[in-house]
Structure 1
Amino acid sequence: MNTNTAEPSIKQVELPRSEGADLHLKGITKRFAEFIAVKDLDLTVPSGTFFALLGPSGCGKSTTLRMIAGLEAPSEGEISIGGKDVTALPSHQREVNTVFQSYALFPHMTVLENVAFGLKRKKDKQAMEKARAGLDMVELAHLANRRPEQLSGGQQQRVALARALVNRPQVLLLDEPLGALDMKLRRQMQMELKSIQTEVGLTFIHVTHDQEEAMTMADVVAVMNEGRIEQMGAPRDLYELPKTAFVANFLGKSNLMRGTVTGERDGLLEVAASGHKILVAVDRAVQHEGEIVVGVRPEKLHLNHEAPTEATGYNELSGEVIDVSFTGTTTEYLIDVAGIGRIGTFAQNRGQQAAEVGNTVYLSWDSAHSFGLAGDELVNAGVDKT
C-alpha cells in the first residue's frame, strides 16, 4: 500500500461492471419566477457514456444536473432513466448518486462509515464489506478509521466518489467535483475519474466550467449557453469544427474575421475580408453565401519573418506585432492586420528567431483549418472578459 504523502493512484483492481442506463431529457424547461434557467432542452446520453455539460456560470448546467438528480422539478418536460419516467420521482427513489464539489461527508463518521452510509440506509447486509471494497477501489482502505477532517482535499474527494459508486447507481452525477482541488491534483483526478468510469461502466454526467477538464475526461461534451445547448459532440470535433462563435471562443481561443462570400471553386468558398481573400472548405462552413464569419485557431497559424516569394496555396495575411508574451513552452503573439484587426498566434520555443513588437510578420494557414460561421454571429460571444 502506498504510504507516501503524495496522492496515490487508483489501483487496477477487478471490479464488477455496473449496468448504466440511457438518460433522456425531453422538452425540459426550468423557470424561476421570471427567469428561465433551462429552455426546451432535449438530450440523450447513451448508457456507459462519460458525458460533460460545459458552460460558464449561470448557463443552466447545474440546474439541469439538479433536475436529473430530483433536487429540482422541471417546469416542463420529461426525464427518463433506463426507459423509466422519473420526472415526478423524489431523489431517493431514483437510481442516481451525486458527487458535489463540497464532498458533503459526515464529519462525525469515520471514512468507512461515510462510504457505508447509503448501503446501511438500504439495509444492505453486506454494507461494510462493500464499503471496504469501495475504499480499496480508490486506494484509501488504510484510512478507513480516520475522520474526514484528517484527510486532504483529494482524499476526501475519493471518499465521496467511493460512497457514490458502492451504491451502483445507474447514473452518477458529478457537480464540479474537482473545483476545490489544486491544479496538479485536479489533473491527476481527471485521469483517474475517467479510469474508474471505464472500469465500472456507469453513465457519468459531469458538470464543469473548466474546458480542459471536459475535453480531457468526456466522451461527449455539450456546450451550454443561456439555458440551451449550443453544440454537442466529441471533444475533438467541437474544438476543430465549432458551429457558433460562442463555442469557438469558449473552447480555447479563435481568430474570427468577418467577410463576404464572393465565389466557390474546388470545394472552397472564397471570402473577401477587408481586402484580403480567405479560403474555407464548403463542408467546414455553416453558411455558403452572403456575409459570414471565418475562423482559425491560433495554433494553426504559421508565423514567418519574410513574405512568401511565390503562391503557397495557403491563406496569407501580414501585419505588425503589437504584443509578445513568453509563456515558457510557447511565445504568444498579437498581430494587427490592416482591415481585419488583431490576430493571435503562438510558436513553440525551439530556438528559432523570435518576433519583436513593431516587426512586420507574415501569417499563413491551410484552408483545411478554416471554419465558417453564420454572418449574424457576435465575434466576441463566449470570450472570457475577466
Structure 2
Amino acid sequence: MATESSGNLRLSGLTKDFDTFTAVHPMDLVIPQGTFFALLGPSGCGKTTTLRMVAGLEQPSAGQIFIGDTDITDTKAYRRNVNTVFQSYALFPHLNVLDNVAFGLKRRGDKDARSKALEALELVQLTNVAKHRPAQLSGGMQQRVALARALVNRPDVLLLDEPLGALDLKLRRQMQVELKQIQTSVGLTFIHVTHDQEEAMTMADTVAVMNRGRIEQMGAPAELYDLPKTGFVANFLGQSNLGIGPITGRDGDLLVAEIDGSKVSIPASRSTVASGDVMFGVRPEKVRISRDQPQGVGSDLKATVVDVSFSGVATQYLVKTASGSTWSVYEQNLDVDPVDLRPGDEVWLAWDSGHAFGVPATDAPEAASALEEI
C-alpha cells in the first residue's frame, strides 16, 4: 500500500555522491503541489539523479525528501505515492492497452480497476484503442498509454523522465501541449526532466536550470529567458550574444561598459555585476541590423555579415564583430522588400539598452560549455 501523503514536494539538503564525483550537491527545493515543474540541463548535470532519488530508485547520500509533512526519504519506491513515465514507455507487449493501464490497480486488488483505467484512457483520448496491443500504436499513442497508466494511480507526484525524447519533432510539439493540458486538468504535481529548453519553456510553470549538480537559476520560463543571472543560463536557455569588457561608469540607472570597441549600456537592475569586468548579453531577436549606423538608439555595434539563413518566418544573420566574436540576429520577415544583405557586407547592429543584461565575466567558460551542450 502506498504511503498516504499530500502537499508540496520538499527537498532538504538532498545530496548524491558517487565514488569519484558528486552528482547532486546539497539541494534545497520546494515544488508547490499541483504545479508543472521542469528540471532542465545538459547530460550529466544531476537532473535525472535528482528524479531517481524522489522516485526512490536511488538512495540519497544526505538530506531528506518530504511530500507535505511526510518524510519519504527511506520509504521504498513501491510504497511512495509517486509514479514515473519513462522515455522507453515500458509497456507490457503481451497486454492490450486497457490491461496495461489497469495492471497496477489489479495487482493491488482494486475492484474498480477497469472503470478507473477507462477514465484514464478517456483523459488521454485513447478509449478507441483500448483493445489494441502496444505494438499496434504509434509512438505518441504509446506515450499517452504510459501516461494514463501512471495517472490512474492518482500519485501525489508524477515524474517525467525525458518522456518525449523518442518522438519526432512534430509529434513532440503536439505532446507538449497535450501534457500541459492534462496536468492542468488533473491538478497533480508534474516534475519533468529534460535537456530540451523548448519542452521546459512550453510546459512548465517553473523551470530550474541545473549545471554540474547545482541549480543555477530557477523561475518562470519568461523570467529566466528575459533575465538570466549566469552565463550558463544565458546560453542554455535560448541563445545570447555575449561580450566581455570593463564597466567604465554610470549614466543614471544605466551601467556603461566597453564591449568590442563600443560603449554599451546595461540597466543596473539587470546586471549582477556593478563594477570591474562584466559579461554583457542581448538576445538575437532584440537586435536590429542595417547598413547605416542608426540614430537615437540605446546601443550599437559595427560588424561584418558572415552568413544569411532564410527560415520562412525569419532570417538569421551571423555577423562577426571587430573583436572576432560571432553574433546572431533574428529578423522577422515582415517587409515586402527586406534588407538585401550578403556575406562580406559591413553592417550596424542596434538594440534597446533596456533589453541588455550583465552577468559575471568569470562565467565565460560556463557560457561556452552551455553552447556546446545545445
TM-score by shorter chain over 0.5: yes
1:189 aligns with 2:175: yes
Give 1:363's match in structure 2, choosing from 345, 349, 353: 349
Structure 2 contact 272–358 (Cα < 8 Å) conserved: yes
Structure 2 contact 38–192 (Cα < 8 Å) conserved: yes
One-letter identity of the residue aligned with 1:339: S
1:329-368 paired onto structure 2 within 5 Å: 329-339=313-323, 341-350=325-334, 351=336, 352-368=338-354
Of 120-129 and 164-173, deviating more is: 120-129
Give 1:158's match in structure 2, choosing from 124, 137, 144: 144
How far apart are 1:21 and its partner, in Å? Answer: 2.7
One-letter identity of the residue aligned with 1:178: L
Q: Find the counterpart in structure 2 of residue 381 from structure 1.
A: 369
Q: Find the counterpart in structure 1 of residue 300 from structure 2.
A: 316
Distance in 2 (CA, whole Å) between partners of 1:341 and 1:63 is: 36
One-letter identity of the residue aligned with 2:333: N
1:108-147 paired onto structure 2 within 5 Å: 108-147=94-133
Distance in 2 (CA, whole Å) between partners of 1:339 and 1:184 is: 39
Deviating 4+ runs (over 6 angstroms): none
Give 1:254's match in structure 2, choosing from 236, 240, 245: 240
Structure 1 contact 21–171 (Cα < 8 Å) conserved: no
Distance in 2 (CA, whole Å) between partners of 1:61 and 1:115 is: 27
SS of alignment partner, residue 381 of structure 1: helix
1:270-349 paired onto structure 2 within 5 Å: 270-308=256-294, 310=295, 312-339=296-323, 341-349=325-333
Distance 1:102 1:166, change over 3 A: same
Q: Across the two proteins, how many residue pairs are aligned to each other? A: 366
SS of alignment partner, residue 377 of structure 1: helix
Report the RMSD for the aligned CA atoms in angstroms: 1.4
How far apart are 1:333 and its partner, in Å? Answer: 1.1
Distance in 2 (CA, whole Å) between partners of 1:162 and 1:31 is: 34
Could you tell me the percent identity over the aligned residues? 57
Give 1:69's match in structure 2, choosing from 32, 55, 58: 55
Structure 1 contact 20–203 (Cα < 8 Å) conserved: no
One-letter identity of the residue aligned with 1:343: W
Of 167-176 and 270-279, deviating more is: 270-279
1:78 aligns with 2:31: no
SS of alignment partner, residue 139 of structure 1: coil
1:238 aligns with 2:224: yes
Distance in 2 (CA, whole Å) between partners of 1:307 and 1:283 is: 28
How far apart are 1:20 and its partner, in Å? Answer: 5.9
Structure 1 contact 21–203 (Cα < 8 Å) conserved: no
One-letter identity of the residue aligned with 2:371: V
How far apart are 1:340 and its partner, in Å? Answer: 5.8
The structure whose residues are more often helix, as a share, is 2
How far apart are 1:141 and its partner, in Å? Answer: 1.1
Structure 2 contact 260–321 (Cα < 8 Å) conserved: no
C-alpha offsets along residues 209-237 of structure 1, whole Å, 9 cap, x if unaligned? 11101000000000111111111000000
Distance 1:237 1:340, change over 3 A: farther
Per the normalisation by structure 2, the TM-score is 0.95
SS of alignment partner, residue 161 of structure 1: helix
One-letter identity of the residue aligned with 1:209: H
One-letter identity of the residue aligned with 2:241: N
Unaligned 5+ runs, structure 2: none
Distance in 2 (CA, whole Å) between partners of 1:307 and 1:346 is: 18
One-letter identity of the residue aligned with 1:366: D
SS of alignment partner, residue 357 of structure 1: coil
Structure 2 contact 280–358 (Cα < 8 Å) conserved: yes
Distance in 1 (CA, whole Å) between partners of 2:322 and 2:192 is: 43
C-alpha offsets along residues 130-162 of structure 1, whole Å, 9 cap, x if unaligned? 111111111111211111111111111111111
SS of alignment partner, residue 342 of structure 2: coil
